[in-house]
Structure 1
Amino acid sequence: MNSQILMMGLNHTTAPVQVREQIASAPCIRDETLDRLQSNLTTAVFSERLILSTCNRTEIYTVTSHAGQAERLLRRLFAAQETLSGAADFLYTYTRRDLVAHLFAVASGIDSMILGEFEILGQVRAAYRKAAENKTIGPILHKLFKDAIHVGKRAHSETQIGAGASSVGYAAVALARRHLGALSGLSALVIGAGDMARRAAKNLAADGAATIIVANRTVDHGSQLAAEIGGHAITFDELPRVLSQADLVISATGAPHIILDRDMIRAAMAVRPDRPLCLLDIAVPRDIDPGVAQMPGVALYNIDDLQQLVDANRASREQAVEQVHAIIAEEADTFWRWFAERRAAPVIADLRERAEQIRAAELDKALRRLGHLQLSARDRNVLASLSTGIVNKLLAAPTIHLKERVQSGDGQPYLETLRELFELDTNDGHDLPSGL
């Protein structure tokens, strides 16, 4: 059987926010969904498995010796989740070297909505650590994800891929600037105190917003962020009052439900009928009722509306993208050579074991025939070393050439020939995939 790496998932390029938010609900719901997925990834089909889930992607990485069955099972698993209704229409699949290059691109930030974002590298690392702790991965995914983290670090340290709008929070403030003009002198409300909210708040402060108010369900976290940016912290109960005074609202919580509903926005606008309100909802699932976009004086943007800014950002950094692609190609080649050589190792090991059996048997036969000479221990060791040296030298060149063939992609016929010529009965499940 062919042991292969296989990944299936969906992301911001294939699925709109209304689909992605179904799995990226509150942490408890997300964890329940992922736990159900994980529990159904049977070891009979998947020898290794890891789930990477963020607000903009859900991807399942596996190692399997039953590729066709594994792909069908993954599709059924996605379709069977109540919180993922309709997700099957937006799925993509990667295998072999394409999978390696894709994961390396994800870790580097060039497959993200915000080109060069750094947060995704931490999310890849967290997914790897969780899988390692749960012991759902083995040597292949261990190596793959450690290499992916290394590639992400190289991309950010060796190129300018992270310059400019390299986070959703940064891009949200840039979009607000496009809509409102200069932010200096404006009153801003940030809802949430997580990574995206924190980055947005810090960028608002850097842009000179006159007042920044942080609303968070956990008051301590909100107060900490407010102190860092020279703002004020409030509880969710105070949102109606503050909404009527804000020019800009950026919401980025992890809540499973709407935070700002139509009634709340309608009441705020009634107090300020001639004063526009800009709402940026960068949460997944969404924090703000989409219907408020129809209200007079209200401009509502969600995370998918950042795409125009993202495209402009990408165009300005084509050179950095090319440099990252070069790093990915180099590192993907290195991993794939390791993967290919690893799969040839059982055949080489069986060949050496067969050669050792023959060597030991023939040496023992020779020593019995020379028994009348009463050879000393030193003499016996000399003969043993001689036989070992002959075997090693005979196998050295074929082993090297075989590894080279495997790494270059046409090793399977040589492995099969080797098995046949030396009568190696290797039922190890490590055949090379077709085309390798």
Structure 2
Amino acid sequence: MSGPNITGGNIKEVLAKTETKMYTEFKVTFPGTGEYGLNVFARTSGETRLYPVFSYLIDHRTKEPDQDRKMTANVVYIVGTQVNIVYPSTKAEYVLYNFDRCFYRSDPGDSVDSSLTVTHSGMGLNFLLNVLENESYRLDVYEECFPESGSVQLKAVHRLVPLEYDKYDEAAVVEKQKKARELEAARRNCDISEFNRDAIRARLKMTLVINVLSFTEGVLDTCRYYDYTDDDLVPRVEHQALILNKKRELGIRIRQAVTTGLVLPLERILDSIEDNDIEQEMGFLLAVARNILFRKMTEKIRKMDQRTVAEVKSYSAPPRAAQEVMKASLLLMGHKTSEIEEWSSIRSLIGDTQKMKQRLKDVDIEALDYRTVKKAARLMASLTHNEVRHTSDSQNLIKLKKTRKPSLMDSSEENSSNSLKTESTDSKSKTQ
């Protein structure tokens, strides 16, 4: 167990542990304001074998771990950034670290908030910390690797980095870490390149277990930095990164659609997910997104009234806008694409205007096939601005803003005072 990172105190002085058959309870005494990192490791008694790690940020106000900010144990809260330590780790899955203030004053009880965070990059690990003038600090770093057994073993490498205000030499620290890696490789009787390969393969395996985007991208950065490609695990991790990125973007687009009404970006990300054949991996988010699109589609089609349907039906050569909207309507009502190729077929399918309106109202959103809705949406999205404009209130097909190319997938259309209308008065001369 490492942490919490508390300035001026020792973990044994501030942490109490209560064990039961079901769980282990940690009680922390907070010496000051701020957030503290608590890293928890599983270990068999009497051994140094460590098992998968979790870390929590604990707020001094709530006294509870922030479950939404649960992470792998490589991040601690940061307040300031005055020193940036590049720690070129190549063989560790996780880094255990403890950041303490070394007291040289007569009164070690003086409270000071010092914070540390760790980020992963292609170069290794970046430690960002805040130090105060005339004070010295100590950063202890431990590395872990994952052997073939899948367990976690703490490496016998203890690195002590002394830090003093305005006396930090990054080049010297990097050189020390390089020598430490070489010594460890010599201890294992292997060259440094083999040492790095073993470490990267271990990282790739653990990435597939952790399934966290930041960690996955960090490991891929490491592979690129060391030009590591000869491994069957790399494509699997790259595929995992694709899935995690699409999940993140899908969540963003869903929130955007709900809060702003903008649905076109949601349609685009769904197309991308389908193109990459990862629909199953999206889980419930995909169902939520599709439900939003279904509802927006049917809401707009249902806005047609009897006079609208009757007027559109009267055309012998209708404007393209009117024909495409009717095609979309009939698709949603269950007709096949082959049945709506010709306008004469569409007119016969429209039938009685009252029945047409009722059929639109009776469309079951939940029963709609997503590909059908998608076809209807593309029909509407293909309409240009010149093809739709004002003519009369009786031609109120779909409410839509005209500030850009219209899309059926844009729910902001519902609040517009404008209406999607059939084309120019020249088209009216073609009516029967």
TM-score (structure 2 length as normaliser): 0.25
| Higher strand fraction (1 or 2) | 2
Larger relative contact order (CA 8 Å, sep ≥ 6): 1
Task: Decide which structure has greater helix share.
Answer: 1
Larger radius of gyration, structure 1 or 2?
2
Q: TM-score, normalised by structure 1?
A: 0.25
